[in-house]
């Protein structure tokens, strides 16, 4: 593992049994089908793909919520018992991820009581600081989640994630449940916190427009595999895999001239997806730092 790599994924695979109506195993499904991926310290690595592509399962494997069927996931300077503090997660639905019977302050305080080496007074101060960092202050910290809007609840969830002072956060569709204006505000907040706390993000989303705004690099997943990986600007400007091209066709382009240019480029490329029905294909570097499964 090189010095700038925070998380290294090597040959990760997660297989689930497929059962019939009587509970008998009739086959197996590879939710993650052999992924190699490095997440560099300080970057935001976007992971995109349709529902069922394996992106959320990959996030759970990295968080060690689930164990891989094969392969390994290594966290830099792995210290036994420390990963609970160094890795955190922000989920899609802030209401279900927060305890509805606890106040905002109590929700943020909980992970500090479980995982952080802080006394009660220091933990309380850290919780307040974390809420203030996301714009929740004053008497609002004593309100329960139902008293907040969706965007405010997501801010509380973010405060809870940063409270243990992690180095790595998995953002699993963190803005997809919010309207566009609030999405932009929360995205800006995540970028601000990344600068302030030196965070590294794995940003999982099906919304390519949000990923384009926040991600340093982007990995495109299909059927449990990465089919394209590139710096975000390069991937959006020059998508090489047919699946990536089709995903980008679904993104609204506000500039009509750019929209026509993009459609013309896509029209000159093969319409058939070279990945369909094919065995696993290694990623090949087709341009500097731009990898495609050919």
Q: Is 141 helix (H, G, I), strand (E, B) or coil?
A: helix
Quickly tell me which residue has 């566009």 as its tokens.
180
Per-residue confidence (pLDDT) for residue 275, from 0 to 100: 46
Do residues 61 and 27 make contact, with C-beta atoms less than 8 angstroms apart?
A: no
| Structural domains of the chain ordered from first start | 5-293 (3.40.50.300)
- CA-CA distance, 196 to 213, in Å (whole number)? 18
Give, rounded to a whole angstrom, the gap between the first and last alpha carbons of the chain.
Answer: 26
| pLDDT tens string 84-95 | 678 999 998 888
| pLDDT tens string 48-95 | 998 889 999 999 999 999 999 999 999 986 655 556 678 999 998 888
Do residues 157 and 97 make contact, with C-beta atoms less than 8 angstroms apart?
A: yes
Per-residue confidence (pLDDT) for residue 117, from 0 to 100: 79
Do residues 252 and 83 make contact, with C-beta atoms less than 8 angstroms apart?
A: no
Q: Are strands 200-205 and 44-48 parallel, antiparallel or unpaired?
A: parallel
Per-residue confidence (pLDDT) for residue 281, from 0 to 100: 79
Per-residue confidence (pLDDT) for residue 271, from 0 to 100: 47
Per-residue confidence (pLDDT) for residue 276, from 0 to 100: 45
Per-residue confidence (pLDDT) for residue 177, from 0 to 100: 81
The list of the chain residues with pLDDT below 70 reads: 1-2, 77-84, 115-116, 252-280
């Amino acid at each position: 593992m090189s010095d700038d790599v925070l998380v290294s994924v090597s040959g990760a695979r997660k297989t689930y049994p497929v059962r019939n109506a009587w509970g008998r195993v009739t086959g197996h499904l590879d939710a993650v089908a052999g992924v190699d991926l490095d997440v560099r310290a300080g970057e935001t690595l976007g992971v995109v793909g349709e529902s069922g592509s394996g992106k959320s399962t990959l996030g759970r494997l990295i968080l060690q919520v689930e164990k891989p069927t094969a392969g390994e996931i290594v966290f830099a300077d792995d210290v036994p018992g420390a990963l609970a503090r160094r890795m955190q997660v922000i989920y899609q639905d802030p209401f279900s991820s927060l305890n509805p019977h606890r106040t905002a302050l109590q929700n943020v305080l909980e992970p500090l009581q479980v995982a952080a080496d802080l006394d009660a007074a220091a933990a309380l101060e850290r919780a307040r600081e974390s809420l203030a960092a996301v714009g929740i202050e004053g008497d609002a910290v004593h309100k329960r989640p139902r008293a907040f809007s969706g965007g405010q609840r997501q801010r509380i969830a973010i405060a809870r994630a940063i409270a243990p002072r992690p180095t790595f956060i998995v953002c699993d569709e963190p803005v997809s449940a919010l309207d566009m204006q609030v999405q932009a505000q929360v995205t800006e907040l995540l970028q601000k916190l990344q600068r302030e706390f030196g965070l590294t993000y794995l940003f999982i989303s099906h919304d390519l427009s949000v990923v384009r705004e926040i991600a340093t690099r982007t990995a495109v997943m299909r059927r449990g595999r990465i089919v394209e990986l590139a710096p975000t600007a390069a991937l959006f400007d020059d998508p090489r895999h047919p699946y990536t091209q089709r995903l980008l066709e679904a993104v609204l382009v506000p500039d009509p001239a750019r929209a026509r240019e993009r459609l013309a480029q896509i029209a000159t490329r093969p319409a058939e997806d070279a990945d369909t029905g094919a065995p696993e294909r290694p990623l090949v570097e087709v341009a500097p730092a731009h990898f495609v499964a050919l």
